[in-house]
Amino acid sequence: MPGFELFGESEKGQVQQVLDTGVLMRYGFDGIRNGQWKALELEKALAERMQVKHAQLVSSGTAALTVALASAGIGAGDEVIMPTFTFVASFESILAIGAVPILVDVDDTLTLDPAAVEKAITKRTKVVMPVHMCGSMADLNALKAICAKHSLLLLEDACQAIGGSYEGKPLGSYGDLGCFSFDYVKTITCGEGGAIITNNDDFKMNADHYSDHGHDHIGTNRGAEGHPFLGYNFRISELNAAVGCAQIQRLDEFLTIQEKHYTYLKTAIASIDGITFRRIPNGGVENYSFMSFFLPSTEIAKKAHTALSEAGVDACFYWFDNNWHYYKKWEHLTNATSLGKLPQEVLNQLPDYSKANFSKSDAWVGRTISCLIKLSWTEEQVKERAETMSAVLKRVLE
């Protein structure tokens, strides 16, 4: 991770095919595009790879979450349960449709704690949204059982975990809806882009229409198409989709490299006293984009992170103090700071997160360091990194 590290002739060739037609928009201009429909091509490839009936491309992972929620009819006043550890896009997408983000604790998977989810359910809850952070999944079986019990939708945010699986099913395909990001730093990239996957015909139709201003895409005259409901513009361009057409064919190649590098680094530090690793739920296979491990305490984790950085070990993240990925720095959510007026339902129902007790999340995330696994490392670089990490962590834990 990320896929841009290995851009090559296949990506260039796909983009050139689009440039040769001059048609950069995914819809219309049928007569001059010479049969090039890159968005449709990528949707078909993604649906096949993810073992689902439908895929809908959009402009970003954030757009994917927003469109997925809208396609399922989620709106003003509906509550969506999400984790305290994720990217801000998770709650941005919920607020974008007037719904209310309900934060709950994570556990040693670094994803939604099923017990915390159960406690957070109210009569307004409509969706449980686990976020498969850093390449690994939530306890999906437990979450699916909770959703079935309470008649809730299970929406998988798999934006950081494409290629992982759970009980033999690709991540994103286990729930009612799944979302991916193809931004510049994801395992496969379109530069900018995202996708929704589902087996639900209505959700697919709604996502298709909603992401293109409500166009029903019936017939061959775009200007004459109907608009059965309000929509918005979340379209992906043919240029972005073209890059994705090349990258999706390389996903297994990337996963193999990530697993090799991940395994080497994990082996190098696994026997060090005081280090444990995030729990991968039974039946789960991560995509090996990050190696996440726990130190004995928050203080030691901070010290270790600083020491790794000083030793030249880059791309290791201490999420507990991160501005964008952990609830402690989400003051704009806590204070409901918005350029425009938020819906009254949000203002009335949004919990006071300044007084929330997420000590269980703190206990896990505060002790976590996550190291990005790069595709471009040479064997020598992986070996040097492993030796340096081992030496630094042993010294910190003496």
List the catalytic residues.
Answer: 186
Eight-class DSSP state of 290:
E
- If phi over 0 gives left and psi between -120 and 50 gives alpha, with beta otherwise, what is residue 355? alpha
397 and 269 Cβ atoms separated by less than 8 Å:
no
What pairs with residue 153 in β-bridges? 127
Cα separation, 134 vs 106, in Å, equals: 13
- What amino acid occupies position 225? E
Cα separation, 199 vs 177, in Å, equals: 8
Give the sheet arrangement for strand 284-285, strand by strand.
169-170, 165-166, 284-285
Token pair for 42: 């990528």
- Give the alpha-carbon dihedral of 213, 215, 220, 223, to 10 degrees: -60
Bond into 2 cis (ω within 30) = yes
Tokens 């509550």, residue located: 79
Token pair for 48: 């096949």
314 φ, ψ (degrees, to nearest 5): -85, 175
How many CB atoms sit inside 10 A of residue 183's CB? 18
Eight-class DSSP state of 67:
H
Q: How many Cα atoms sit within 13 Å of 333 on the Cβ side? A: 28
Tokens 């928050």, residue located: 298
Cα separation, 252 vs 72, in Å, equals: 31
- Map residue 353 onto helix, strand or coil: helix
How many CB atoms sit inside 10 A of residue 338's CB? 12
Q: How far is CA 178 from CA 148, 155, 251, 318, in A?
A: 17, 6, 18, 27
